Structure 1
Amino acid sequence: MARKEPLTGASGVARVSRPSADFTLPLFSGGNLTLSSLRGKPVVINFWASWCVPCREEAPILERTWRLYKDKGVTFIGVDIQDRESDARAYIKEFGITYPNGPDIGGKFTIDYGVSGIPVTFFVNREGLIVSRWVGAINERILVSRIEDLLR
């Protein structure tokens, strides 16, 4: 069962209510994305891998929700960890993922965000603070609720 509160000791616990660690992610689609360039926008950061069964369960939900909120200024970022590039690209194609995704080469972002298991999703407010995180496959109701909180 996914745990969602800081007191659980779950993945990413040390990062809630703290500034999000800046990073520049090389994108599978080409170019780079720097988190600090998104300041002023709500951001959803999802750590995943192609071999992760719960990641596969939530992939369609993340894509569907991204499509609903992208025109409202919300940005989604996918961070692929511990994966072969060919497998990651196949996963993105399989699920029709259109939001920015890239590999965590060397595991730096995973370490910076305190990720010890996947999937894990972080919610970053307009000021760049991580205000929430969800460990495990996220469902649509919770994802939408957390995004609506970011937009308030």
Structure 2
Amino acid sequence: MTRAWRWLIPLSAIPLLALLAYGFRTNPRDIPSPLVGRPAPAFVLTTFAGAPVSLEAHRGHVVVVNFWASWCYPACYEEAPVLERSWRAWGDRGVVVIGVDIQDKREAAEKFIRDFGLTFPNAQDLTGKVSVDFGVYGVPETFFIDRRGRIRAK
């Protein structure tokens, strides 16, 4: 290997490392969603309690879909109590909160739900399809869906 090649390979890695560092530092909440203004992707998941949960079942209600994981610290730990308080304050007025756990172990997710006393429906996206359909970049990400089923904000 020539002397030039010995330097070229490590130097070419610097822009790649800089790009990776930028990506890891980017807050998923700061990345706009192309789905805003469009119909929310349909899904049916099974909650940790064993019941089905879907967007279609909540048509006509405002729905808040929160993607989270037990290992998402500190952001998910900060959001969980806020979501629970919102669910308790607005649930009887037609606002539905649905938690979608991604890339997690069931036991860890169940512990998270217990530790925060979450009473709103939470389900695990075992295949990753729901998070892909929503374009989830990282956790936490929260989508606000209007009564007609359109995503209004992320």
Please indicate, yes or no, whether the TM-score normalized by the shorter chain is above 0.5.
yes
Residue 37 of structure 1: CA displacement?
1.3
Q: Percent identity?
A: 47
Partners of 1:77 and 1:44 lie apart in 2 by 6
CA distance in 2, matches of 1:57, 1:31: 26
In structure 1, C-alpha distance between the alignment counterparts of 2:114 and 2:80, rounded to whole Å = 11
**Corresponding residue for 1:23?**
43
Amino acid in the other structure paired with 1:107: G
CA distance in 1, matches of 2:118, 2:80: 8
CA distance in 2, matches of 1:100, 1:118: 18
Q: 2:78 aligns with which of 44, 51, 57?
A: 57
Number of the residue aligned with 1:74 = 95
Letter in 2 for 1:27: T
Cα separation, 2, equivalents of 1:77 and 1:31: 13
Write the distance in 2 (CA, Å) between the matches of 1:120 and 1:129.
Answer: 16
Offset at residue 34 of structure 1 (A): 1.7
> Which deviations, in whole Å up to 9, do the C-alpha atoms of 1:98-142 show, x marking residues without a partner?
000000011000100000111010000000000001xxxxxxxxx
Alpha-carbon separation, structure 2, partners of 1:52 and 1:45: 16
Say if 2:148 is the partner of 1:127: yes
**What's the counterpart of residue 97 of structure 1?**
118
Could you tell me which amino acid in structure 1 is paired with residue 45 of structure 2?
A: L
C-alpha displacement at 1:64, in angstroms? 0.9
Give the corresponding residue for 1:108.
129
* Pick aligned residue for 1:88 from 83, 98, 109: 109
In structure 2, list runs of 5 or more residues that go unmatched.
1-25
Residue 17 of structure 1 aligns to a residue whose secondary structure is: coil
Q: Tell whether the 8 Å contact from 2:28 to 2:140 is kept in structure 1 after alignment.
A: no
CA distance in 2, matches of 1:2, 1:80: 18
Indicate the SS of the match to 2:152: strand
**Aligned residues between the structures:** 128
Q: What's the counterpart of residue 141 of structure 1?
A: none
Which of 32, 41, 61 matches 2:52? 32
Query: Who wins on radius of gyration, i.e. which is larger?
Result: 2
